[in-house]
Amino acid sequence: MIRKHLLCPERVRKIPKQFSWIDQRLVRDGHIGRVSHRAAAVYLFLVTVADAQGLSYYSDAAVCRRLAMDESCLNDARRELVQTGLLAYSPPLYQVLDLEKEAAPAAPGLYSLQEIFKQMGGRR
Protein backbone atom coordinates (compact mmCIF):
# COMPACT_ATOMS: atom_id res chain seq x y z
CA MET A 1 0.00 0.00 0.00
CA ILE A 2 1.35 3.39 -0.95
CA ARG A 3 1.48 5.81 1.95
CA LYS A 4 0.54 9.35 0.96
CA HIS A 5 2.41 12.32 2.39
CA LEU A 6 2.59 15.94 1.32
CA LEU A 7 5.51 16.65 -0.97
CA CYS A 8 5.17 20.41 -0.59
CA PRO A 9 3.20 21.20 2.61
CA GLU A 10 3.48 24.97 2.18
CA ARG A 11 1.59 24.75 -1.14
CA VAL A 12 -1.46 22.59 -0.28
CA ARG A 13 -4.20 23.58 -2.68
CA LYS A 14 -7.22 25.34 -1.29
CA ILE A 15 -10.76 25.57 -2.57
CA PRO A 16 -10.95 28.80 -4.60
CA LYS A 17 -13.35 31.57 -3.52
CA GLN A 18 -15.08 31.72 -6.91
CA PHE A 19 -17.37 28.90 -7.95
CA SER A 20 -15.55 26.69 -10.36
CA TRP A 21 -14.45 23.08 -10.24
CA ILE A 22 -11.00 24.14 -11.39
CA ASP A 23 -9.41 27.27 -9.97
CA GLN A 24 -10.07 30.13 -12.41
CA ARG A 25 -6.67 31.62 -11.56
CA LEU A 26 -5.25 28.89 -13.77
CA VAL A 27 -6.44 30.99 -16.74
CA ARG A 28 -6.82 34.44 -15.21
CA ASP A 29 -3.27 34.58 -13.83
CA GLY A 30 -1.68 33.01 -16.90
CA HIS A 31 -0.61 29.65 -15.47
CA ILE A 32 -2.22 27.58 -18.24
CA GLY A 33 -0.54 29.66 -20.94
CA ARG A 34 2.85 28.67 -19.57
CA VAL A 35 2.55 24.96 -20.39
CA SER A 36 2.08 22.81 -23.47
CA HIS A 37 -1.18 21.10 -24.39
CA ARG A 38 0.21 17.78 -23.19
CA ALA A 39 1.14 19.24 -19.81
CA ALA A 40 -2.31 20.86 -19.52
CA ALA A 41 -3.93 17.47 -20.20
CA VAL A 42 -1.83 15.82 -17.48
CA TYR A 43 -2.64 18.68 -15.09
CA LEU A 44 -6.39 18.35 -15.76
CA PHE A 45 -6.20 14.60 -15.18
CA LEU A 46 -4.31 15.03 -11.90
CA VAL A 47 -6.63 17.78 -10.64
CA THR A 48 -9.56 15.47 -11.36
CA VAL A 49 -8.19 12.39 -9.57
CA ALA A 50 -6.43 14.12 -6.65
CA ASP A 51 -7.71 14.05 -3.09
CA ALA A 52 -8.53 17.18 -1.04
CA GLN A 53 -4.81 17.87 -0.50
CA GLY A 54 -3.99 17.50 -4.19
CA LEU A 55 -2.40 14.07 -3.77
CA SER A 56 -2.64 11.07 -6.09
CA TYR A 57 -0.47 8.13 -7.02
CA TYR A 58 -1.48 6.91 -10.45
CA SER A 59 1.22 4.86 -12.15
CA ASP A 60 2.86 6.15 -15.32
CA ALA A 61 1.25 3.30 -17.24
CA ALA A 62 -2.23 4.22 -15.96
CA VAL A 63 -1.81 7.94 -16.77
CA CYS A 64 -0.46 7.12 -20.24
CA ARG A 65 -3.31 4.70 -20.91
CA ARG A 66 -6.01 7.15 -19.80
CA LEU A 67 -4.54 10.06 -21.77
CA ALA A 68 -3.45 8.05 -24.84
CA MET A 69 0.08 9.34 -24.28
CA ASP A 70 3.41 7.56 -24.44
CA GLU A 71 5.78 7.54 -21.47
CA SER A 72 8.21 10.00 -23.05
CA CYS A 73 5.42 12.57 -23.52
CA LEU A 74 4.26 12.02 -19.94
CA ASN A 75 7.79 12.53 -18.63
CA ASP A 76 8.13 15.78 -20.61
CA ALA A 77 4.72 17.04 -19.48
CA ARG A 78 5.40 16.19 -15.85
CA ARG A 79 8.80 17.92 -15.96
CA GLU A 80 7.11 21.00 -17.42
CA LEU A 81 4.46 21.07 -14.68
CA VAL A 82 7.11 20.75 -11.98
CA GLN A 83 9.26 23.48 -13.55
CA THR A 84 6.33 25.90 -13.74
CA GLY A 85 5.38 25.25 -10.12
CA LEU A 86 2.03 23.57 -10.76
CA LEU A 87 3.04 20.12 -9.56
CA ALA A 88 5.32 18.35 -7.10
CA TYR A 89 6.35 14.79 -7.95
CA SER A 90 8.21 12.11 -6.05
CA PRO A 91 7.57 8.70 -7.60
CA PRO A 92 4.91 7.45 -7.37
CA LEU A 93 3.29 10.40 -5.59
CA TYR A 94 1.92 13.54 -7.27
CA GLN A 95 0.82 16.71 -5.50
CA VAL A 96 -1.14 19.33 -7.43
CA LEU A 97 0.09 22.57 -5.87
CA ASP A 98 -1.83 25.63 -4.82
CA LEU A 99 -1.50 28.30 -7.49
CA GLU A 100 1.01 30.99 -6.69
CA LYS A 101 0.08 34.67 -7.03
CA GLU A 102 2.47 35.14 -9.94
CA ALA A 103 2.63 32.65 -12.78
CA ALA A 104 6.02 31.07 -13.29
CA PRO A 105 8.01 32.31 -16.30
CA ALA A 106 7.15 30.64 -19.58
CA ALA A 107 9.29 27.71 -20.63
CA PRO A 108 11.60 28.50 -23.55
CA GLY A 109 9.64 28.53 -26.80
CA LEU A 110 6.24 28.67 -25.04
CA TYR A 111 4.18 31.84 -25.03
CA SER A 112 0.93 32.70 -23.32
CA LEU A 113 -2.02 33.87 -25.41
CA GLN A 114 -1.61 37.29 -23.80
CA GLU A 115 2.03 37.47 -25.00
CA ILE A 116 1.03 36.37 -28.52
CA PHE A 117 -1.71 39.01 -28.73
CA LYS A 118 0.70 41.68 -27.49
CA GLN A 119 3.17 40.72 -30.21
CA MET A 120 0.44 40.72 -32.85
CA GLY A 121 -0.86 44.12 -31.69
CA GLY A 122 2.62 45.63 -32.00
CA ARG A 123 2.86 44.75 -35.70
CA ARG A 124 0.95 46.90 -38.12
Spell out the domain ranges in the chain: 10-122
Is residue 124 predicted with pLDDT exceeding 50?
no
Cα–Cα distance list, 18 to 22, 62, 117 (Å) = 10, 32, 27
- Residue 100 pLDDT class (50, 70, 90 cuts): confident
Q: Are 104 and 84 in contact (CB under 8 A)?
A: yes
Calculate mean pLDDT across residues 75-100: 94
Q: What class, spelled out in words, does domain 10-122 have in CATH?
A: mainly alpha
Is residue 111 predicted with pLDDT exceeding 80?
no
pLDDT at site 117 = 61
**Three-state DSSP state, 11:** helix
The values of phi and psi at residue 53, to 5°, are -95, 5
Q: Using CA atoms, how far apart are residues 13 and 97, in angstroms rounded to an integer? A: 5
pTM strictly above 0.85: no
- Name the more confident of 123 and 99: 99
Strands 87-90 and 93-96: antiparallel
Q: pLDDT by residue (tens digit) across 9-21?
A: 998 877 766 656 6
